Amino acid sequence: MTQRLRMRIAGMTCTDCEHHVTVALEGAGATDVRASFRRGEALLTAPAGIETEALTAAVAAAGYRPGATEPVEDPAPPRAARTGPRGRGAFDLAIIGSGGAAFSAAIHARDAGAHVVMIERGTIGGTCVNIGCVPSKTLLRAGDIHHSAGHHPFAGLATQAGPVQMGRLTAQKDQLVGELRQHKYEDLIDDYGWELIRGEAAFVDARTLQVGERRIQAKAFVLATGARPAVPDIPGLAEAGYLTSTTALALDHVPESVAVIGSGYIALELGQLLRRLGARVTLLQRSPSLLKSYDPEIGEAMTGVLADEGIERITGVRYLRVDGGRDGRRVHLDVAGTARTVESAEILVATGRQPNTEALHLDRVGVRIDARAAIPVDGELRTHIPHILAAGDVTAGPQFVYVAAYEGGLAADNALGAHRQADLRVVPAVTFTSPAIATVGLTEAAARAAGYDVKASVLPLSAVPRALVNRDTRGVFKLVADAGSDQVLGAHIVAENAGDAIYAATLAVKFHLTVADLTETMVPYLTMAEGLKLAAQTFGRDVNKLSCCAG
């Protein structure tokens, strides 16, 4: 008789560590060992009645730190060999897509020993590494440096910004993208040992996909096909031509002028980037205020930033038509009943993203989509067909790569028999403008709507020492808390490095910390994160009357 065991193991950091642990456990009498440094554990089969002390001693002798050992049901087959031919029978899991959600799903499934196939119709890696997070943030950093060279607040420093060689910037960006795609995506396919099939996947029936000439059968599916830039239906827009977030990151020159249709995070990031590289930029938005879903203090702070940098905003617009072409474009608007025309060399469309679902033929298997073509899922990320799950931007959830990765892993676990619930109650969001915008938890209005007795503090950045030494006090910290329990409900920041500071606030919201918890915890002086503590102290006193670092 044998038993299946799970041993928690600390200290493994790579696949070589997995090999060393496997050899040690096999030497102590275990068989079918599957060590995972990512999970910090080893699954193994051992003779019934074996002394677990012998197993833990073997792991310790190999240089690792064994923890608890417990029985576990492990019906999944061992991980397939990483070399040699792969089977062409039914798979345990078929994953459509190859971005953050898809790779997380594949890694989770392979760690569980599942037979996995991934189908990709385009470039491996999805949006984030290829046309989203990585390329945009490296170019945004370039824009920051260029802007700082010509606009800084320090006396005695003579710096200047020369002409931008956009082609060289784009080539350097492409090199970085290629390296990360190789190391963080393509290399992992062989490391983990799943099959990759190139082509467009479409459902034939609830258990079968058609990919080119091949039919793929699987016990379960994870749909992780992501999203693409959404394009509004404005007469003449297609004929005149336009940029999207994808093509704007591939420019080989800086346009003389750009009209940006939209005012969300993509519009703000790329609009500021193009302005800082030398373009004249006009933001066009339907709503009367900027960042209308945020607390008003956030929108007000960013409105000032855009004005400081010479970015024009036209609010309350209704789009009538677009005309023009290679020699320039004209956007014809109705602004509060008055006709207005904006002329620009280029138009950038930044009005959100459209889920990629049309090629899947979901109607053949009864998987529904909503009005945006997104796939609705339940708490376990299952569609209306329980063995077909969806994760990432193709669903109606928050469109962040870290959310996609979280959902992909959870979807794979559930596809293989688990019943874990997705928890998206505390999701931080960052817009990488300069200064950056970061938010987590409830806004003041949302907290009141949820029935809380709300108290809020608003701290201008001029009260944060880090901002003073930086000589840039554009921004704000805002905390939202429950007046009765003192629990922190939300945090909202406009500041340099706001994306770094928001992690502490995320922990505060997730683990129900109080305002007192923030005020009574030491924070390093002259960091932007100190703004969180100062904002918490603002509930009870005037922080302008505190000495440096005063608690």
Range 79-83 average pLDDT: 39
Query: pLDDT digit string (tens) for 148-175?
Result: 999 999 999 999 999 999 999 999 999 9
3-class SS string, 232-297: CCCCCHHHHCCECHHHHCCCCCCCCEEEEECCCHHHHHHHHHHHHCCCEEEEECCCCCCCCCCCHH
Residues 441-456: what's their mean pLDDT?
97
Tell me if domain 2-71 and domain 237-350 are identical in fold: no
Q: How many residues does the chain have?
A: 551
Domain ranges of the chain: 2-71, 91-126+171-228+355-415, 237-350, 429-545
Higher pLDDT, 319 or 82: 319
Q: How far is CA 19 from the centre of its chain?
A: 32
pLDDT interval class at 89 (50, 70, 90): low
Comparing 16-20, 88-92, 334-338, which segment has the lowest mean pLDDT?
88-92
**Residues with active-site annotation:** 12, 14, 17, 64, 128, 133, 548-549
- DSSP, collapsed to helix, strand or coil, labels residue 125 as coil
Task: Identify the CA nearest to 279 among candidates 134, 174, 166.
Answer: 166
Residue 399 confidence (pLDDT): 93
Q: 338: pLDDT confidence band, cut at 50, 70 and 90?
A: very high
Residue 74 half-sphere exposure toward CB, CA atoms < 13 A:
23
Mean pLDDT (whole number) for 287-291: 92
pLDDT of residue 551: 61
Confidence tier at 18 by pLDDT (50, 70, 90): confident
pLDDT band at 73 (very low <50, low <70, confident <90, very high): low
Question: Residue 133 and residue 130: Cα distance in Å, rounded?
Answer: 8
What does the pLDDT read at residue 78?
41
Please say if the pLDDT value at position 88 is more than 80: no
CATH class of 237-350: alpha beta
Contact predicate 1/45, CB 8 Å: no
pLDDT in tens, 462-517: 999 999 999 999 999 999 999 999 999 999 999 999 999 999 999 999 999 999 99
Predicted confidence at residue 296, as pLDDT, reads: 95
Whether the per-residue pLDDT at 99 is higher than 70: the answer is yes
Predicted confidence (pLDDT) per residue in 387-424, tens digit: 999 999 999 899 999 999 999 999 999 999 999 999 99
- Residue 40's pLDDT is 83
pLDDT, tens only, 339-373: 999 999 999 999 999 999 999 999 999 999 999 99
| Percent of the chain at pLDDT exceeding 90 | 85
**Alpha carbon 423 to its chain's center:** 15
Q: Judging by DSSP bridges, how do beta strands 214-223 and 346-349 pair with one another?
A: unpaired
The CATH architecture annotation of domain 91-126+171-228+355-415 reads 3-Layer(bba) Sandwich (3.50)
More confident residue, 514 or 545: 514
- Residue 81: pLDDT over 50: no
Is the CATH number 3.30.70.100 carried by domain 2-71? yes
Is the pLDDT at 85 greater than 60? The verdict is no
Place domain 429-545 in its CATH homologous superfamily: FAD/NAD-linked reductase, C-terminal dimerisation domain (3.30.390.30)
Label residue 550 by pLDDT band (50, 70, 90): low
Q: What average pLDDT does the segment 236-249 reach? A: 96
pLDDT at res. 231: 96
pLDDT band at 549 (very low <50, low <70, confident <90, very high): low
Distance of CA 175 to the CA centre of its chain: 22
